[in-house]
A and B are shown apart, each in its own frame.
Chain A
Amino acid sequence: MSALVDKSKVPWWVSNLIVPLVNLVLALLVSGLFIFIAGENPIQAVQLIIYGSFGYIEGFAYTLYYTTNFIFTGLAFAVAFHCRLFNIGGEGQAYLGGLGVFFVAINFSFLPVPIVWLLAVIGAALFGAAWAFIPGYLQAKRGSHVVITTIMFNFIASSLMVFLLVDVIRDTNQMGPHTVVVAKELWFPTFKDFGQFIGLKIRYSPLNISFLLAIAALFFVWFLIWKTKWGYEMRAVGHSTKAAVYAGISPHRNIIIAMLISGALAGLLGINEILGVHHKVIAGFPAGYGFTGIAVALMGRNHPIGIFPAAFLFGILYQGGSEVTFDMPNITRYMFVAVQGVIILFSGALENLFRPQIESFFVKRLNTVQTV
């Protein structure tokens, strides 16, 4: 209860920039401590992270590739959150989204390539949305908490996909749990192709035109949430169900719509992974992006303007982190999972830990400046 800060006096840049930055710095300090305990030099590790994610063009491309995935899953979480729904099921929805892409790519490959791409985007969105629909429906009509059901649905998605990838759609010419490769002309142009086109020699990286789709998705979500009737209604339901009912806005309907859009956005991860990178569905391709998306959204304060830098930051950590694990024998991949965990802890769970102190500090400083 101490130091109650008058919210209306806190400048927007303190609560939206300074506080997240302080949390991030703290997280990095704690992570540095981990690295130090593991017997490596934290400063060197930071240098490696920066070199790995910015130091050479392919490294930077990798960073943007990861960013793409985090934008999709971060937006997915954010849309549901505006309706006060914790969609923890991005992972499963993304997995099913990949199946949608594959389904389109196999069945509609006779159509012109741009049309197939468009259909694939729709397919990814539809499959992702369908997987989010059931928890959304159960929440709206039966009151089953969406956190519980979406977590369960991640497991169900995982089992379902393993079953499909082993027994139904496996490429029967080999043993691994993955499908056949989709037609080569459907593969998304990559950054390497782009380099070739303008006469630059760039080595392979998974960055592809899905990145542009992710940028489009950022605009889409911004427009949806703040400029349309649907976004308005979703936010209304999120703030107060009672008021929504009074105004003739159906909470049930909006809970379902929010989950559908959220699932659709998570499903788009399948586009990046299937058409852009693997060109087939492989077991476990969402690789935790769905979960990290939660942290991205929380760190980005559920606003597209915040989600982009947050996704980029996690992109840096993913890419730079793999550089570190490569060069520092004592740092394993799991170490970086821990680093991510620390960032999630500080920007999510402990988000309000230092907020009052920081805000009151700035409010006082600004007051003295004004009175002087």
Chain B
Amino acid sequence: MVSPILELSKINKSFGHVQANKEITLKVNKGTIHGIIGENGAGKSTLMSIVYGFYQADSGTISINGKTINLKSPRDSILSGIGMVHQHFMLVENFTVLENIILGFEGEIVFGKKLEQAKINLKNLCETYKLNIDLDSIISDLSVGFRQRVEILKSLYRGAEIFILDEPTGVLTPQEVDELFKILRSLQKEGKTIVLITHKLNEIMALTSEVSVMRQGEMVGHKKTELTNKEELAEMMVGRSVLLRINRTEAQKGEVVFRVNNLQVKDDLGVMRVKDVNFEIHKGEILGLAGVTGNGQTELLEALSGIRKIESGEIQLFNETISDQNNFLNPKELKEKGLVHVPEDRQRMGLITDFKAYENLIFGYHHQLPFSKSSILKEKDILSHSRKVMEEYDVRPQSPHLITSNFSGGNQQKIILSRELNENPKVLLVGQPTRGVDIGAIEFIHQRLIDMRNKGVAILLVSVELEEVLSLSDRIVVMFDGKIVGEKVNKDVTDREIGLLMAGIA
């Protein structure tokens, strides 16, 4: 009989009027990989933040190895053997791996013996778990996959017995995901316990032995993974049956509306990030741009949407040059021409998270009718518009006065989409439309994008989620190191082919 290492009982937590966790009960057995799956806003992250001591529960108890503990801060949870690998890594970029790991646990004022000891211990850990990390390399030189390993190593070094991983595969290539899974399995083999938070059913099926499903703040069920299947889990998450495959009809391609010729773009540091890129998008077509994060997609999107100046080449909209090395139209002018942009960085670019929802729903369109007249905001019209689109896009909670940062990722994305799609664009640039977004919302967002395509909009879909690119696009281009390294018609292409292109191998 296995004993639960981590046990939560009747955890409640609310933010304002929103109850994020309702009477949550969870048992995680020692030495297992336990999945927690649920839509965004289902309360997974809140629950794990409570376990990590980042928030305090309003009521309920947490026990580890049968002993009730009181977690006041992350430090308490680290001391209780809980390690967390966040979605956004908590590492000092210009420190070495070693420096990052001992940070806060140096144990001596002048580095000497203890540092040496730490190095030896870390090397042993690396070998045991096959982490393959050079302790002296600088974090900023490491790829995302390696940074994640550093986080895991950090938790190991601090004596973690329970590892919480929050959406760990969101930023990884398919190959890196495989590597991560190997590491997680070796952790499990050494008797560690892993709690995996994810919205990807594939990962649950591949890795976990038990899975708990959350929906709207409640725990709706616990299953043994071998006794369930994807469809059942998806249904539990959403509360109804879900289409896991998109209904995509053949594209009704029209003329070319958007064209990029020999485009070169530099980043803020003056490094060329987009190198001689050419492509075109037809009316009524989704062009998918696949690639691992950081291969120039961000700079490309910014250049196409008028945020970033281009070095050379040109961008054409309806055969009219909108950007070359001398001139470029700004986002406002581009919107007027029918080009809208749903940015990758939802929280820092697409929204002002400190603004109220209704203020974000008019962001970028605030200067025009019906939202303002003679520079005065028409609050009544703005609010009635907001209520309308929040209902239409099923934004929850449906309160236009709520501060945007209190919405979940999926709902924030819906706020942006409803704002941009509402303007009947001709060309739509979308970056990572479903990053950190739950299944129900993904389905909704994908369906909207397909609808737009069917209406004749030319769409550029930039995504690091290969599955998303494959399921939505009519054509796929792959970007690696700033260049387009391949173009495929999305018919008989496999994820393996694209994966190799993404890794720059093929």
Contact = CB atoms under 8 A, between A and B. Distances in A.
B55 interface: yes
A236 B404 CA distance: 13
B16 A8 contact: yes
A249 B364 CA distance: 7
A227 to B, nearest CB: 6
- By CB atoms of chain B within 10 A, which of A3, A227, A247 has the most? A247
A229 B352 contact: no
A127 B408 CA distance: 47
B503 interface: no
Contact of B54 (A4, A230, A248, A367): A4
Contacts, number: 83
A243 B419 CA distance: 14
A2 B72 contact: yes
- By CB atoms of chain B within 10 A, which of A3, A9, A229, A367 has the most? A229
A229 B307 contact: no
Contacts of A240: 348-349, 352
Contact of B364 (A4, A227, A229, A248): A248
A367 B59 CA distance: 11
B375 A243 contact: no
Contact of B406 (A3, A8, A229): A8
Given A9-B16, A243-B348, A236 B363 contact: yes
Given A1-B73, A228-B376, A243 B367 contact: no
A247 B372 CA distance: 16
A232 interface: yes
B453 interface: no
A227 B379 contact: yes
B15 A229 contact: no
Interface residues on B, range: 35 or more
Given A6-B55, A248-B332, A243 B376 contact: no
B377 A239 contact: no
B91 to A, nearest CB: 18
Contacts of A245: 307, 331
A305 to B, nearest CB: 18
A230 B341 CA distance: 23
A246 interface: yes
A228 to B, nearest CB: 5
B343 interface: yes
Interface string A196-230: 00000000000000000000000000000001111
Interface in A1-51: 1-4, 6, 8-9
Contacts of B75: 1
15 contacts: A1-B74, A6-B55, A8-B403, A9-B14, A9-B15, A228-B372, A228-B376, A228-B377, A236-B355, A239-B354, A239-B355, A240-B349, A242-B345, A243-B349, A248-B331
Interface of A: 1-4, 6, 8-9, 227-230, 232-233, 235-236, 239-240, 242-243, 245-250, 367
Interface of B: 14-16, 18, 54-56, 58, 72-75, 305, 307, 330-333, 335, 341, 343, 345, 348-355, 359, 363-364, 366-367, 372, 375-377, 379, 403, 406
